[in-house]
Amino acid sequence: MPSVSAAAGPIGRWLPVLLALASFVLGALLVDLAVPNETRGNIGAAHRVFREQADEIDVVFIGSSRVQAGVDVQALEDEWQKSGAELRAFNFGVPGMRTLEQGHVLRQVLALRPERLRWVVLEALPIGITIRKSTDYSRRAEAVSARSISWHTTQVTRRALAAIWRFSLPWSERLELARHHLGLWARHASNLGLLSERLFESTSAREQRAREEDGAAPEPDAPAVEDPGFGPVLGATQKERARAKALRRWSEQSADQYQKRAARIPLENELPVDLAELDLEIVAERVREARAAGVELIFMTLPCEVGNPEVLRLHEAGLLGPLLHFNDPERYPELFAQPMREGLGHLNAPGAQAFSRHFAREFLELLK
């Protein structure tokens, strides 16, 4: 008959490991309770304001800074009112939002079950690498931040890996992209990234965040407040300043340069796309989730500096759903002229008003 000490031997050897794992899980849970997700910068402000208005909203727009700058809610509602449609809209555009994060935000919006919400308009973002610029799979999209950690749930990370598996890329690059997303998922699961954000956030960043939450404009040389505490180590602040300088440079371009860029968009819109290399479940999953909540998804493209070949090929194949396509310089030339633009990628205030009036009319036509 085995002795008590012999039977307890294996348990004794593994007990420190089990206790360490239990301590880690408990610590992660405590951090999760103490450190709320997505409370900073533009994304946090959008969540807070939407929750306050959720039950009064009929249409929500979700997308990047193109949506934030290009959708004028007042112009939309005024145009709808002229046509007898009493609809209220909410602009959930956030700088830097790409395909994967957009799906996470959509789930958060639907989870609130807003009483009047009937339509969600998604900026039709790329789900592949036909044009690498501004996708989830470009080098520019690989920054580690508290925000990117917060939306790397298991569901989102699974979709990222499924998409990467289909890409026509060298295995070395696919493995590097997969490593990046898995690393963010691991930080999300352990809450380590968000804890780092709170422990090491600088005083100037806290002050800047408070100013933004009060509605004040950011200071020209203020640090990027959505960077985590380890952001400066990774160079994230320098990257944000470089992007700001690039935006100022774009704003100074001549009308001739705007026209040259606009002339390339129709050509990019016609690019062939191998649908077998796209994770089509990204779109299908969102449509199912919206319908389960009693909401209809409508996709839209905005006037910008790059074409939308994947979106257009998906729509032509009947795999996308309703699409309102405005990234077309031949049909909407005024929206691509310099007086309507804030840099190559964004509309300015007059451009947003003009675009929103176009959208309001075509949205009502679509509903008919």
The predicted model scores a pTM of 0.78
Report the pLDDT averaged over residues 26-34.
59
CA end-to-end span of the chain:
82
What is the torsion angle, in degrees rounded to the nearest 10, for the CA atoms of residue 155, residue 161, residue 165 and residue 171?
-170
User: What's the confidence (pLDDT) of residue 72?
Assistant: 97
Residue 76 inside a domain? The answer is no
Contacts of 47 (CB under 8 A, 6+ apart): 38, 108
CA 250, 100, 199, 45 torsion-angle sign: positive
**Residues 226, 193: Cα–Cα separation, whole Å:** 12
227-278 pLDDT per residue, tens: 332 223 333 445 555 555 555 555 556 667 778 888 999 999 999 999 999 9
Residue 203 inside a domain? The answer is yes
Name the domain count of the chain. Answer: 1
Residue 89 inside a domain? The answer is no
Residue 330 inside a domain? The answer is no
**Residues 308, 20: Cα–Cα separation, whole Å:** 49
Residue 50 inside a domain? The answer is no
Q: What are phi and psi of 234, to 5 degrees?
A: -85, -5
138-192 pLDDT per residue, tens: 765 667 777 888 899 999 999 999 999 999 889 988 998 999 999 889 888 877 5
What are the Cα distances from residue 35, in Å, to 30, 47, 101, 181, 240? 8, 16, 20, 22, 25
Q: List strand residue ranges (DSSP E) for the chain, in order.
A: 59-63, 89-93, 119-123, 296-301, 323-325
What DSSP designation does 347 have? B
Residue 79 inside a domain? The answer is no
307-348 pLDDT per residue, tens: 999 999 999 999 999 999 999 999 999 999 888 998 778 999
pLDDT, greater one: 13 or 237:
13
Using CB atoms within 10 Å of the CB of residue 276, give its burial: 0 to 12 exposed, 13 to 18 middle, 19+ buried: exposed
Residue 185 inside a domain? The answer is yes
Region of 41 on the Ramachandran plot (φ > 0 left; ψ -120 to 50 alpha; else beta):
left
From 50-64, 67-81, 215-229, the region with the lowest mean pLDDT: 215-229
Residue 145 inside a domain? The answer is yes
Domain membership of residue 111 as a residue range: 35-42+95-252+265-294
